[in-house]
Amino acid sequence: MEKRIEVFTKANFPDAIGNEVASEIANIGITSVDEIRTVQVYLIDGELSKDEIKRICSELLIDGLTQDYACINGSSEQPADIQAGHRDNTVYTIEVTRKRGVMDPVESTVIKGIRDLGMSARSVKTAKRFLVAGSLSIEQVEAIADKVLANKIIEDVFINKDNLFYEDKNEAIEYVFHRHTLEILNADDEQLLSISQEGQLYLSLEEMKAVQKYFTTLGRNPTDVELETIAQTWSEHCMHKTFRGMIDCDGELIDNLLANTVMKATSELDKSWCVSVFKDNAGIIEFDENYNICFKVETHNHPSAIEPYGGANTGIGGVIRDTLGTGLGAKPILNTDVFCFGPLDIGQEMIPEGVLHPKRIFKGVVGGVRDYGNRMGIPTANGSIFFDERYTSNPIVYCGNVGLISRDKCEKKSHEGDLILLVGGRTGRDGIHGATFSSVELTHQSEVVSGGAVQIGDPIMEKKVTDALMKALDRSLYNNITDCGAGGLSSAVGEMGEELGAVVDLEKVPLKYDGLSYSEIWISEAQERMVLSVPPENMEEIREVFQREDVEATFIGEFTGDKRLRLRYKGEDVADIEMEFLHDGLPRIIRKAVWRSPSHEEPDIKVKKDYGEDLKKVLSSWNVCSKEWVIRQYDHEVQGGSVLKPLQGVDNDGPGDACIIRPVLSSGKGIIVSNGMNPKYGDIDPYHMAASAIDEALRQIISVGGNLEMVALLDNFSWGNTDKPVCLGGLVRAAKACYDMAIYYETPFISGKDSLNNEFKSGDKTISIPPTLLISAIGVMPDVTRAISMDVKSPDNLIYILGMTKDELGGSHYYDIHGFKGNSVPKVDREVGKKTMDLLANATGKGLVRSCHDCSEGGLAVAAAEMSFAGGYGIELDLSRVPVETGVDRDDIILFSESNSRFIVEVQPEKQKEFEETISGIPYGCMGKVLDNDVFTIQSQGGKNVISEKISDLKEAWQATLRL
């Protein structure tokens, strides 16, 4: 009989989780909750005496100072009475437990803790119980459960049921082998399509016909797992059919867009410091005489929409595994994350049915990245958050990771006869395409095992895998490695064995629970797993390395040399196909693309005498406002490498441009990481959006003291439905801009990823995300003591603007606060832009710059204001000194235009001459100076004050928005 143990905070201590939940409930408009107490529930099954249970509770499960417990041994005993003080009110109980198959790592930790006490438990199950006191209707209680406490995708909710015992949790459900084949040899078109649909294979008719033809030559029908393997290998996610396919763009035939733009720039630039590009899990560039660095950014959008915490967990966990699986393995040293959400203040009535509120998605995603990154001990020091209504039902989550890799560990290759070793977490039904399983019934014998399509990550497992892997790496115990990500074992083994062939015995794969079919084992996307290719002679040694770190490692097959993929289940053959067909058999089709410039309404904004309010509005807008609430929750300095932190200035709270880390503490060499993105420009023209994003990412590298000599780029496209020719046309334009910019700035792309079809159907309405290209940049900094922060440093220093200000308010934040988009999107003058960056880099290299800030979202006024309040000093500026394009005569254009390639720079008066000589040849203006007061003043071209604000007021406007 299982014991139910309830642990709760003593009445005289604040209930941290309860208080947090209470404020969330107030956020959804329910104000009649008086108090919430939380109860952690453990259901422990094992032969344990009363005294033993008592010891488990008092020594392991509670903190005796702040917590108490109750042990309920059966339905006759009462659960924890913590309703005192609320006798007059109704107290509701809401119990939340994870659905079967959604693992809670706490369960195995408790089993371990009990073992350390010298006892043993068969199983542990956890749940959370919330006691909600207040005058509430049952509908309100249900709303609290649904909108705040639980996510029914992964959790079961029980309201007002005392004394819950979940039975049969561990009842094994045996899998009975049955080889499943599908009749396709004689299938007509309609039947082929229906096989694809029913199997959720997402293969088109052309693709199904190619499969049919192949199996006709074999003279037999395929098994289910063969079809699954083909579908997975040929999926958009793995094959990038759109980017690598044929596109007819307004009559121009493009055979492989990626090879003709992004990758072409890299091969033409042919930089000697590019070690590995577009072939491994991450791109690799040189760092120093011992190490290279690798960088990868991934999207994880759809899972994050459904289960934000778990989705973001697995997003960051997945990209960290990319680093672990780059070359023979790299040490993860930095996380980056960029998110796109709907506005957090959007009304509930604007949220489509079945969609979570942006605030919940936002908090869940931030929590997911925080908990995974922090627990892995990897600093999260760069990122940004972007808001637009169109991300409400389709949020975008980009997670990136930088790794440090020994120079001699960058190449890998499996050898014939190598054994296939699976390490890390166990395999369950996690992430199997949309398969749905019913949930466990309360106190009833359930015959159905449920599994979550979305899994909660287990960062400690991944940390253990990392630690063990680094040991195996040091000893050179394996020849090849890759991560188990999308497509699971199918993808990992398929890729590694592409040239050799592989055989796998699927029953050897360790499972979280019984009942999985051979096909499910093969395609499961269970997290925290890696696949290694191990020479047979190292078998025992590598097994021991993992064992010592408590990481499961299982040999599941062999790389054969017969160039076939063969799968077996308990000796029975279940798949046998040629690697060549799998990897090269995909038929190519031509997609249509067109491009037509949209036309947006041009705003008519009246000229004003004072733009102070406009400045505060832009500062407080969602995209510009301080993200400190998020940044502080990330450990941005673990590993000790941080040189330039995301928050800067006299009070450690100003917005830095790029981050700088020192991955090897004994060396003065650093890495600069930045990002650029502006989907608002994409509504006008994706070409200029892409060019601006690249310019922005590079500006940030320059702003912090870097130069363009050794900077690599990553592209991450999140787009709408590219089956629509206009949408695909925009993608082609953006890719072309990537080529043009990379070639001119001499910054090669080394890796990238795309996520297409980001749209949401609600009834007959389709909402597509705006074209969203994230550009990440990584540069090597020879001497980190040259780093520059963005906060102004001391009174009387001069303030310069570098670059030309143009009438480019299209897609700007200034237009946005007035409700317009406009058409005059910022373009990049590559010649001036490159020269500006190179000369400014010379100046920072000579130590002539005290502070520098990238002039981007919100334009000159916002950048200068941020520098001013971050430094704690006032600034006075004169707009007549700003170099402007002919015809620009309005103050608001100069203040808020988002023209590219501009910087605001602080220079000491004694260095004025040398600075101006150094930057001679580019447009610049000395537009003012730092003041020994707290007022931020800007004079119009006509000599009158158009902005005069206290810096504390500006800072407050900037900080108040996201002070949650």
Helices (H), 801-896: 813-817, 830-845, 859-871, 891-896
Look at strands 874-878 and 935-939 and give their pairing. parallel
The C-alpha atoms of residue 775 and residue 726 are separated, in whole angstroms, by: 22
Smallest gap from Cβ 553 to other proteins, in A, equals 15
The beta strands (E) that lie in 561-710 are given as 564-569, 572-578, 590-593, 642-644, 647-648, 654-655, 659-661, 670-676
Q: Which is nearer to other proteins, 137 or 952 (CB)?
A: 952
Q: Which is nearer to other proteins, 324 or 565 (CB)?
A: 324
Which residues contribute to the site for other proteins (CB under 8 A)?
13-14, 16-17, 19-20, 58-61, 63-66, 105-106, 109-110, 112-113, 116-118, 370, 374-377, 458-460, 463-464, 467, 548-550, 631-640, 642-645, 647-650, 652, 662, 665-666, 784-785, 787-789, 791, 793, 851, 871
Smallest gap from Cβ 466 to other proteins, in A, equals 10
The C-alpha atoms of residue 14 and residue 535 are separated, in whole angstroms, by: 56
Taken in order 364, 365, 368, 373, the sign of the CA dihedral is negative
Q: Which is nearer to other proteins, 23 or 842 (CB)?
A: 23
The C-alpha atoms of residue 475 and residue 328 are separated, in whole angstroms, by: 12
What are the strands of the beta sheet with 291-299, ordered from one edge? 274-276, 283-286, 291-299, 396-406, 331-341, 380-387
- Give the number of other CB atoms < 10 A from CB of residue 73: 13
Residue the block writes with tokens 């009070």: 651
Q: Which is nearer to other proteins, 66 or 948 (CB)?
A: 66
The C-alpha atoms of residue 29 and residue 306 are separated, in whole angstroms, by: 22
Smallest gap from Cβ 125 to other proteins, in A, equals 14
Which residues 6+ apart lie within 8 Å of 47 measured at CB? none
Which tokens hold the place of 170? 């561990």
Q: Which is nearer to other proteins, 418 or 635 (CB)?
A: 635
Q: Which is nearer to other proteins, 549 or 892 (CB)?
A: 549
Smallest gap from Cβ 643 to other proteins, in A, equals 5
Burial class (CB in 10 A: 0-12, 13-18, 19+), 175: middle
State the catalytic residues.
Answer: 237, 300
The beta strands (E) that lie in 489-605 are given as 502-505, 529-534, 553-559, 564-569, 572-578, 590-593
Smallest gap from Cβ 952 to other proteins, in A, equals 17
- Give the number of other CB atoms < 10 A from CB of residue 743: 16
Smallest gap from Cβ 361 to other proteins, in A, equals 18
Q: At what angle are helices 725-745 and 686-703 packed, to 10 degrees?
A: 30
Q: Which is nearer to other proteins, 671 or 825 (CB)?
A: 671
Smallest gap from Cβ 464 to other proteins, in A, equals 5
Q: Which is nearer to other proteins, 633 or 933 (CB)?
A: 633
936 forms bridges with which residues in the sheet? Answer: 875, 949
Q: Which is nearer to other proteins, 118 or 571 (CB)?
A: 118
Which residues 6+ apart lie within 8 Å of 117 measured at CB? 55, 56, 59, 60
Smallest gap from Cβ 550 to other proteins, in A, equals 6
**Cα within 13 Å of Cα(312), Cβ side:** 26
Residue pair 810/598 in contact (Cβ under 8 Å)? The answer is no
Smallest gap from Cβ 528 to other proteins, in A, equals 12
Residue pair 690/758 in contact (Cβ under 8 Å)? The answer is no
